Structure 1
Amino acid sequence: MARVLVVDDEALIAMMLSDLLAEYGHETVGPAHSEGQALDLVASTPIDAAILDVTLGDHDCFAVAEALGQRGIPFAFATGHGAQAMPDAFRERITVSKPFDFEVVRRLIDELVAPQTLP
C-alpha cells in the first residue's frame, strides 16, 4: 500500500481521488486543498507519490511540485488546461487531464507507486 498525497482545491474531486486510491489499495495523504496545506504535509508526512491539481484557487501547485522533486517523490499533475499550459520546468512531467478517466487515473497511480529501479 502506497501513501499518495492528493492536492486539489475542489473537495468533490479530492474525495473522488481518495475513494479511487482506497479502491486500488492505497492510502490518501490529505487531501490538501491549498498550497500551504500541501507543503505542510510534504514536510511532515511520509509520502510515496502525489497527484497535484495545477490550479489551487488563486495559486498554483508548483512550490509543492518543487518540494516533492527535492525529496525524490514521484508526482503527476492534474489539469483541465492541458500539458501545453505547463511551465517549461514541468512540461515533461506526467499530466492527467480533467475531467478524469478512471482507467487513466488507475494506470497513473500504478506508474507513480511502482518500485523504482536503479539503472
Structure 2
Amino acid sequence: MTIDKPAGSVFLVEDEAMIRMMVVDMLEELGFNVVAETGEINEAVKLAGTTDFDVAILDVNVNGKVISPVADVLKARNRPFIFATGYGTQGVPENYRDRPALQKPFQIESLKQALDSTLRGIA
C-alpha cells in the first residue's frame, strides 16, 4: 500500500467550532494535513510564530477580534495565508486586501482553487 504525500500542511484559525470541523474535513478530503488549529486569537498569534506549515487559513473576525495580529506574524515569517470572511473583501483588514479571501460559506471547489493559486504564488 502506498501513501500519497499530503498536498500540503495547513494552519487554520476559525472561532466557530462547527465551521472549523467542516473546513478540516474539506482540507483532509483535498489531501491537506491540518497541523494546527485554533479558535482563539492569542493562541493563533503564538501558533503563527511557532508552527511549520505551507499555508494558513484565517477567519477575519475571531470572537469579535480582527485577525490582523496573526496576519502580521505570518507576513513577517513570509508564510502564505488566505482569509475566510462572511463580510466580503470589505471585511478583510485594509492593509491585507491584496491577499486572497474566501467568501463564507464556501464550497470545497472554492477552497481548492484558493489553496492551489496561493501555493503556486499566483494569488
Alignment TM-score, normalising by the size of structure 2: 0.86
Matches within 5 A, 1:39-54: 39-54=45-60
Between the aligned partners of 1:81 and 1:109, the Cα distance in structure 2 is 20
Residue matched to 2:89:
83
The Cα shift of 1:84 comes to 2.1
Please say if 1:58 is aligned against 2:64.
Answer: yes
CA deviations on 1:29-52 (whole Å, 9 max, x unpaired) are 221101111112122211110010
- How many residue pairs get matched? 116
CA deviations on 1:28-80 (whole Å, 9 max, x unpaired) are 12211011111121222111100100000121111101100111111010111
Please say if 1:74 is aligned against 2:77.
Answer: no
Q: Percent identity?
A: 36
Question: Which of the residues 23, 34, 41 maps onto 1:35?
Answer: 41
Any unmatched runs of 5+ in structure 2? 1-5
Any unmatched runs of 5+ in structure 1? none
Between the aligned partners of 2:93 and 2:49, the Cα distance in structure 1 is 24
Residue matched to 2:115:
109
The Cα shift of 1:15 comes to 0.8
RMSD of aligned C-alpha atoms? 1.6
Between the aligned partners of 1:112 and 1:6, the Cα distance in structure 2 is 15
Alignment TM-score, normalising by the size of structure 1: 0.89
